[in-house]
Structure 1
Amino acid sequence: MIYEDLDRLDIDKLNKDLLDGVEDYIDVSKSNNTRKAYDKDWKDFVRFCKYTKTKYLPADYPTVSKYLVYCAKIQKLKVSTIERRLASIIFKHRESLHSIDRKHKLIKNVIEGIKRNFGTKPNSSQALSIEDIKKIIDKIDEDENILKDKNKSLARNLRDKTLILIGFLGGFRRSELINLNYEDIERDLEGLKIIIRKSKTDQRGSGSHTKGIRKSLVGPKYCPVFNYENWIKVSGIASGKVFRQIDRSNKILDSLSDRAVALILKWRAEKAGINSIKIAGHSMRSGIATSLAKEGATENEIKKITNHRSSSMVQRYIQDAEIFDNATKLLDL
């Protein structure tokens, strides 16, 4: 609403309109998955407050601190989950125009104590290697060759190969892959130019960037560009989402969920004889970072592929890649 004459404004109505606007923008500030997680976390906090007969909105600092201890000692949650629970409480309070300061001494000291007592070692997904990716593609091709009716699985096989090769070589997040549109991909003599309009670190899409996926120099089998072109040709996709669901009758439906990406990768890895217990959607992204680090790529070169803002995670991948590159290699044993 545009207000032209401030002197004739209804102040109460203006305040209501502005507050409605605040709530609208808060509502779209988080991704759908984050919102679902926050809603679930908030319900747990409300249950705790009702059980302990304390106020949950606005909650005071002792109540929030006791809840964090409850999460650690009684629910035995991981530190990362507890930190997300705290983030959800803060978010819900901001939604209702209340304030909770994460740096308040009670909350800060409790979180630090939980980290010391329960540790912060992440339950990491397994990074896929280049050899793993090749095994998966080989198995897909092998299964297709022994089928009498190759058309029955052609679309699904091409989709999965394209998803895995682009996901791995581009260091994509699952959310980025499922939101890729046909219009965001431009073909070039050297490969594919892919525009990322939104990402985990840029939910508003204010800083879209372009990734380059190179053509393979060793032939079409493991080439993301070759497989992408075949997938587009077979699927008939000319607009909208690139990666889509396929039903049992081989009909191409709507877009994939991020969970589906993880399940596809897990299923394909298992079929290729790779232990899939720790395989997750993130295994492609961590895999390319670790593989590049093993080949001697610098931190900045890796960040250019993965678009990590933080150096700490990239350094962790480099450390994982160099874990056996130590002085014991000099020993004659």
Structure 2
Amino acid sequence: MRLADSIPANTKRAYTRQWNAFTAWCTSNGHRVPLPATAQTFVDYVTHLADAGYAPATIEQAMGAIRSCHTNAGYESQPHGRAALQVLRQYRRERAENGQRHQKEAPPVTIPVLQAMVDACDQNTVIGVRDRLILVVGLALMGRRSELVNLNRADVVQTGEGLDITIRTSKTDKNSIGEVISVPSGSHPLTDPVDAWLAWTSILDDAGEHGGRLLRRLYVHDSIGRSLGGDAINEIVRGCAIRAGVPRAEEYTAHSLRAGGATVAYAARVPVSVIAKHGRWSPTSPVLLRYIRAVDRWRDNAMRNVGL
């Protein structure tokens, strides 16, 4: 039971979906039982996904799911992936030559965008106060949506300089040791993490909700419900972006807050190692490095100030 529970819920759902798709394809195409899968079955399936036009990231996830299922079933060897990787590499090249983007990424929430989104939250309503907290703390914490929805009230403590937020477990904290992330007070009243937290916890206190999850669902007449799910955070962020009228609003997700925190910190010349620790990334994370390169393309542009 604990072994099954050790896999993050989102990963478990995605891998189950991918494995079911693989077994259905095997049945439909005359391949023998998929465990253990042969190298030929593996490469044929990857070729099928590429021919069907799936995104490379989706194909990589399918490959990971197949390997994982072999490991969990007790097979010491997994389908040999060299040929499958060659198929995927060629598929990426074809997509690039055809002008297709390698990976669709949620736009980062910059400070002007954050201010516009918070302005779109009506602070005279309970839902507006809650959504402001999600936006402000999500960016300042560089939080994953799983980390945000799992925050308890007791995990956030006000200090003289801001908030100490305990992340009890996360994607990169495999042993669930936990870590305290310090979030400083803000300079702008509307986007101050401390003020946003105080406003929301005051509402929870008035409702008699002194413990449990920090972020809650809201029902009719502003009654406080159970904790939010990860999908709800996506919907809230996207909804705020749409109401604020920011460009590409439909593409915003919870990850926009995490990406935005890293982006604005690096633009403010915060060292990469500090950003990685604050956001719970590996210092060599390719995702983090993509955010940094996006800033560097303009900050260290070879054509800046050349007199064009």
What TM-score does the superposition give when structure 2 sets the normalisation length? 0.90
> Is 1:319–2:300 an aligned residue pair?
no
Alignment size in residue pairs:
297
Q: Which residue of 2 aligns with 1:229?
A: 198
Deviations 1:280-318 (CA, angstroms, capped at 9, x unpaired):
111011111111122222211211321211423222212
TM-superposed CA distance for 1:104, in Å, is: 4.3
Q: Letter of the aligned partner of 2:194 in structure 1?
A: V
Q: Which has the larger radius of gyration?
A: 1
Q: How far apart are the structure 2 equivalents of 1:109 and 1:269? A: 39
Q: Which moved more, 1:62-71 or 1:25-34?
A: 25-34
Distance 1:37 1:280, change over 3 A: same
Q: Letter of the aligned partner of 1:278 in structure 2?
A: E
Which of residues 89, 105, 110 is equivalent to 1:129? 110
Q: Which residue of 1 aligns with 2:128?
A: 157
- Classify the secondary structure of the residue corresponding to 2:25: helix
Distance 1:121 1:42, change over 3 A: same
Q: Which residue of 2 aligns with 1:12?
A: none
State, as a whole percentage, how many aligned pairs show the same letter.
Answer: 25
- The RMSD of aligned alpha carbons is 1.9
Q: How far apart are the structure 2 equivalents of 1:103 and 1:91? A: 13
Q: 5+ unaligned residues in a row in structure 1: which ranges?
A: 1-23, 145-149
Q: Which residue of 2 aligns with 1:28?
A: 5
Q: How far apart are the structure 2 equivalents of 1:313 and 1:51? A: 37
Q: How far apart are the structure 1 equivalents of 2:240 and 2:83? A: 47
- Classify the secondary structure of the residue corresponding to 1:112: helix
1:150-299 aligned at under 5 Å gives the runs 150=124, 153=125, 155-205=126-176, 207-216=177-186, 218=187, 220-236=189-205, 237-275=209-247, 276-299=249-272
TM-superposed CA distance for 1:103, in Å, is: 5.8
Paired residues of 2:153 and 2:214 also in contact (CA < 8 A)? yes
Q: Letter of the aligned partner of 2:263 in structure 1?
A: T
Q: Which residue of 2 aligns with 1:11?
A: none
Q: How far apart are the structure 2 equivalents of 1:320 and 1:222? A: 24
TM-superposed CA distance for 1:109, in Å, is: 3.3
TM-superposed CA distance for 1:91, in Å, is: 1.6
Q: Which residue of 2 aligns with 1:93?
A: 70
Q: Which residue of 2 aligns with 1:20?
A: none
Deviations 1:47-68 (CA, angstroms, capped at 9, x unpaired):
1110121121221111111101
Q: Which residue of 2 aligns with 1:304?
A: 277
- Classify the secondary structure of the residue corresponding to 1:277: helix
Paired residues of 2:43 and 2:81 also in contact (CA < 8 A)? no
Q: Which residue of 2 aligns with 1:58?
A: 36
What TM-score does the superposition give when structure 1 sets the normalisation length? 0.84
- Classify the secondary structure of the residue corresponding to 2:157: strand
Which of residues 16, 19, 33 is equivalent to 1:39? 16
Q: How far apart are the structure 2 equivalents of 1:100 and 1:86? A: 14
Q: 5+ unaligned residues in a row in structure 2: which ranges?
A: none
Q: How far apart are the structure 2 equivalents of 1:178 and 1:158? A: 16
Q: How far apart are the structure 2 equivalents of 1:26 and 1:66? A: 31
- Classify the secondary structure of the residue corresponding to 2:190: coil
